[in-house]
């Protein structure tokens, strides 16, 4: 009896060892470029490190954070980032839901819709940003030629019209992902519920708000969490379209400019750490207050 | 179910709108790429004069002088190597998570999820500094390493979902029928696992192909600059001409093959993108 037990625990032990061994390379690769650098960023953010003036330096405590948080630029950029994220994710949720419903309840043409939503997914963000920029540019673009639009409208010359184009490009690029995640949630709903509700006389809108939305809450929250965090990192589109001109800068652009353009690693790292903290707050907000759960949660 | 003619019309309009919105930027950049310098500012959606000059100018001067050939090679090489290593590492981890009982399984999944949410800009500064002292700045490995990190969560989640569906008992059955463990693995498990690995590989490749932030932060020359980064540094033939035409042509070259690929394997991509979420 004890021999059998020993054999089982031997097996369990070797299985455990194999499990760790197989996971180790991936775990190391993931930690090496996230955990270590963020730790290093915290260290850098507490020092004066400016690669243009390598001789100056030393610990300055929270001075870099003070400099960032007391500058108008950080707050403007944070506002821009939050504004762009909230607007584009809201539009994406509505559009994505519409497309998911179209794909789910397709009378015909489901394949066409799936094909067309995958096109934006496959396109490099920078390429899409250039295409939209050229489309709206007053000299090359066809948009100002359309009816109802002033021929000489300078879309990128003013803050909120630039935002409109940026949001459009973001929505175009990322709605497919939202739609596919929502479609996956839709397919898990039992058709019988709809038929039963129909028999009871529920209208299409009632069926949507009383059955679809409540049952899809987990899928919607996961999609929202992922897209919000992704939108918060917005960089490529703004870099190509305005590069932050007309007060359209995002926090990621600010971090890039401090770190790479100005080589001020101290200040730039303070920005990086603050962005990391923002992302943490958003993730905690979704998980704690809205109850978004890890996608694999129920079958892990 | 019967559908009225009115429903069918509304449906067709909805589909047409989705299709047009999805295609406009693609058709527009293709149209721009064929325009001549004289007509590039004519603001017409369809070129009035066709020319291939924008494409020719990209390849002028061969590998040493062309602004595009070296970045294209960099993009392809870096994305392919990233995909290869990422899929191998992710397969190991996903196999362990899907098949083995060991403490730390859920930590691994939660950790991968946390990495997927991690803001890349927060690692750019430290990596820039570290890569310069390690000699990795402006090299292929300097980009491959961060791409590996940020593609692994995607690959692991996709593969775990696929591996969980594989009827692993077939392996034992094959061995009972007299196959050696290696034969059982190669003839039974590999064909079953291959579609999932292929799907994960497509997603990882697209991720690496698409990156811009690391590509402009951790490179400084054509030694390792990828196409998205190179596009941002394109200049016109003279300081008075806009590089619009060349950017458009380069954009078409890096876009069209991916679109064809995505369309060919669309079912797999949809399955891959949603695999992590459906199970929840």
CB-CB under 8 Å, A115 with B96: no
By Cβ distance, the residue of A16, A180, A218 closest to B103 is A16
Mean pLDDT computed over A217-241: 91
First to last CA, chain A: 32
DSSP B13-54: HHHHHHHHHHHHHHHHHHHHHH--TTTTTS--SS-SS---HH
- Chain A residues with beta carbon closer than 8 angstroms to that of B96: 18-20, 22-23
B257 neighbors B273 (Cβ within 8 angstroms): no
B60 neighbors B66 (Cβ within 8 angstroms): yes
**CB atoms < 10 A from the CB of A16, how many?**
18
B28: contact with A, CB 8 A cutoff: yes
Q: What is the per-residue pLDDT for A292?
A: 67
Q: What is the per-residue pLDDT for B238?
A: 55
Distance, CA of A120 to CA of B230 (rounded, Å): 21
CB-CB under 8 Å, A273 with B123: no
A to B CB pairs, distance under 8 Å? 320
DSSP A231-261: HHT--HHHHHHTTTGGGT--HHHHHHIIIII
Distance, CA of B1 to CA of A242 (rounded, Å): 51
Distance, CA of A146 to CA of A166 (rounded, Å): 19
Q: What is the per-residue pLDDT for B278?
A: 42
Distance, CA of A89 to CA of A177 (rounded, Å): 12
Mean pLDDT computed over B67-90: 94
Return the structure tokens found at A139: 């000299």
By Cβ distance, the residue of B90, B106, B125 closest to A300 is B106
B171 neighbors B193 (Cβ within 8 angstroms): no
Angstroms from B162 CA to nearest CA on chain A: 13
Return the structure tokens found at A233: 């990192």
Angstroms from B228 CA to nearest CA on chain A: 6
Residues A127-140: pLDDT tens digits?
Answer: 999 999 999 988 88
The CATH superfamily label for domain A75-289 reads MetI-like (1.10.3720.10)
* Alpha helix segments (H runs only) across chain A: 2-32, 35-45, 63-69, 72-104, 110-122, 125-136, 159-186, 191-199, 204-207, 213-232, 236-241, 251-256, 265-284
A110-122 vs A159-186: helix crossing angle, rounded to 10: 130
- The chain B residue lying nearest A222, using CA atoms, is B277
CB-CB under 8 Å, B122 with A276: yes
A224 neighbors A89 (Cβ within 8 angstroms): yes
SS3 category, A52: coil
User: Residue A97: pLDDT above 50?
Assistant: yes
Q: Where are the domains of chain A?
A: 75-289
Angstroms from A148 CA to nearest CA on chain B: 16
Distance, CA of B171 to CA of A44 (rounded, Å): 52
B263: contact with A, CB 8 A cutoff: yes
Residues B179-219: pLDDT tens digits?
Answer: 887 887 788 888 888 888 998 999 999 999 999 999 999 99
Distance, CA of B164 to CA of B96 (rounded, Å): 11
CB-CB under 8 Å, B100 with A272: no
User: Residue B241: pLDDT above 80?
Assistant: no
Distance, CA of A264 to CA of A258 (rounded, Å): 5
Angstroms from A86 CA to nearest CA on chain B: 17
- Candidates A35, A294, A17; CA nearest to B126 is A35
Q: What is the per-residue pLDDT for A297?
A: 37
Q: What is the per-residue pLDDT for B88?
A: 94
Interface pTM (ipTM) of the complex? Answer: 0.90
SS3 category, A47: strand
User: Residue B256: pLDDT above 70?
Assistant: yes
Distance, CA of B208 to CA of B227 (rounded, Å): 11
Instruction: Point out the least confidently predicted range of A43-57, A63-77, A245-259, B138-152.
Output: A43-57
Angstroms from A256 CA to nearest CA on chain B: 7
Instruction: Point out the least confidently predicted range of A223-237, A252-266, B29-43.
Output: B29-43
CB-CB under 8 Å, B102 with A180: no
A147 neighbors B240 (Cβ within 8 angstroms): no
**CB atoms < 10 A from the CB of A147, how many?**
4
Taking the CA atoms of residue B26, residue A119, residue A93 and residue A292 in that order, the dihedral angle to the nearest 10 degrees is: -140
CB-CB under 8 Å, A16 with B28: no
Percent of chain A topping pLDDT 90 = 39
CATH number belonging to domain B63-239+255-278: 1.10.3720.10
- Chain A residues with beta carbon closer than 8 angstroms to that of B273: 121, 177, 180-181
Angstroms from B42 CA to nearest CA on chain A: 7
Distance, CA of A186 to CA of A287 (rounded, Å): 21
A177: contact with B, CB 8 A cutoff: yes
B259: contact with A, CB 8 A cutoff: yes
DSSP A264: B
Distances (CA, A) of A117 to A96, B30, B59: 10, 19, 32
A12: contact with B, CB 8 A cutoff: yes
Q: What is the per-residue pLDDT for B124?
A: 92
Angstroms from B12 CA to nearest CA on chain A: 8
Percent of chain B topping pLDDT 90 = 40
Angle, vertex CA B118, rays to CA B112 and CA B120, nearest 5? 125
- Candidates B235, B18, B219; CA nearest to A96 is B18
B140-165 vs B266-278: helix crossing angle, rounded to 10: 70
By Cβ distance, the residue of B12, B102, B126 closest to A41 is B126
β-sheet bridge partners, residue A59: A47
Q: What is the per-residue pLDDT for A2?
A: 58
When pLDDT is cut at 50, 70 and 90, the band that residue B229 belongs to is very high
By Cβ distance, the residue of A223, A256, A296 closest to B279 is A296
Mean pLDDT computed over A36-54: 88
**CB atoms < 10 A from the CB of B217, how many?**
25
- Candidates B278, B280, B118, B133; CA nearest to B214 is B118
A174 neighbors A237 (Cβ within 8 angstroms): no
Sequence-ordered list of residues with C-beta below 8 angstroms from that of A36, at least 6 positions apart, any chain: B126
Around A43, how many Cα atoms within 13 Å sit in the side-chain half-sphere?
A: 9
- Chain B residues with beta carbon closer than 8 angstroms to that of A175: none
Most confident of A5-9, A99-103, A227-231: A227-231
A8: contact with B, CB 8 A cutoff: no
- The chain A residue lying nearest B219, using CA atoms, is A260
User: Residue A152: pLDDT above 90?
Assistant: no
Distance, CA of A121 to CA of A134 (rounded, Å): 20
């Amino acid at each position: 009896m004890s021999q059998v037990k020993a054999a089982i625990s031997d097996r369990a032990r070797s299985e455990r060892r194999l499990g760790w061994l197989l996971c180790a390379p991936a775990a190391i690769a993931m930690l090496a470029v996230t955990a270590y650098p963020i730790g290093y960023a915290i260290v850098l953010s507490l020092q004066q490190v400016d690669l243009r003036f390598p001789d100056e330096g030393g610990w300055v405590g929270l001075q870099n954070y003070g400099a960032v948080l007391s500058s108008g630029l950080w707050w403007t950029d944070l506002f821009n980032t939050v504004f762009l994220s909230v607007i584009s994710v809201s539009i994406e949720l509505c559009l994505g839901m519409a497309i998911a419903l179209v794909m789910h309840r397709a009378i015909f043409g489901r394949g066409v819709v799936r094909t067309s939503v995958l096109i934006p997914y496959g396109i490099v963000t920078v390429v899409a940003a250039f295409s939209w920029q050229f489309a709206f540019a007053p000299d090359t673009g066809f948009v100002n030629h359309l009816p109802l639009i002033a021929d000489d409208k300078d879309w990128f010359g003013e803050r909120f019209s630039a935002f409109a184009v940026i949001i459009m490009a973001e929505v175009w690029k990322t709605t497919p992902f939202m739609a596919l995640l929502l479609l996956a949630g839709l397919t898990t709903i039992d058709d019988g519920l709809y038929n039963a509700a129909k028999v009871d006389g529920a209208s299409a809108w009632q069926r949507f708000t009383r059955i679809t939305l409540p049952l899809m809450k987990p899928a919607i929250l996961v999609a929202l969490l992922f897209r919000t965090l992704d939108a918060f990192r917005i960089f490529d589109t703004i870099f190509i379209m305005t590069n932050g001109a007309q007060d359209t800068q995002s926090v990621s652009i600010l971090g890039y400019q401090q770190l790479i353009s100005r080589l001020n690693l101290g200040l730039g790292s303070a920005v990086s750490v603050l962005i990391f903290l923002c992302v943490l707050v958003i993730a905690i907000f979704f998980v704690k207050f809205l109850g978004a759960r890890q996608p694999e949660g129920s079958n892990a | 179910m019967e559908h009225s003619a009115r429903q069918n019309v509304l449906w067709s309009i909805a589909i047409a709108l989705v299709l047009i919105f999805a295609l406009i930027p693609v058709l527009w950049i293709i149209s721009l790429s064929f325009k001549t310098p004289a007509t590039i500012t004519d603001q017409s959606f369809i070129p009035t004069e066709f020319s291939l000059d924008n494409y020719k100018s990209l390849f002028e001067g061969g590998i040493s002088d062309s602004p595009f050939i070296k970045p294209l090679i960099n993009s392809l090489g870096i994305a392919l190597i990233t995909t290869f290593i990422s899929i191998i590492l992710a397969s190991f981890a996903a196999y362990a998570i899907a098949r083995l009982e060991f403490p730390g399984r859920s930590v691994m999944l939660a950790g991968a999820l946390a990495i997927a949410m991690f803001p890349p800009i927060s690692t750019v500064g430290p990596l820039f500094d570290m890569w310069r002292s390690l000699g990795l700045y402006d090299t292929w490995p300097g980009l491959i390493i961060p791409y590996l990190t940020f593609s692994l969560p995607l690959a692991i989640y996709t593969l775990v979902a696929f591996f969980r569906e594989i009827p692993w008992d077939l392996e034992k059955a094959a061995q009972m029928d007299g196959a050696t463990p290696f034969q059982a693995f190669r003839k039974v498990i590999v064909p079953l696992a291959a579609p999932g690995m292929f799907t994960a590989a497509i997603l990882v490749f697209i991720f690496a192909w698409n990156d811009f932030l690391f590509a402009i932060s951790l490179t400084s020359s054509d030694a390792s600059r990828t196409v998205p980064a190179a596009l941002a540094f394109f200049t016109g033939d003279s300081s008075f001409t806009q590089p619009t035409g060349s950017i458009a042509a380069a954009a078409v070259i890096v876009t069209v093959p991916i679109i064809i690929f995505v369309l060919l394997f669309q079912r797999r991509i949809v399955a891959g993108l949603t695999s992590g979420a459906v199970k929840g």
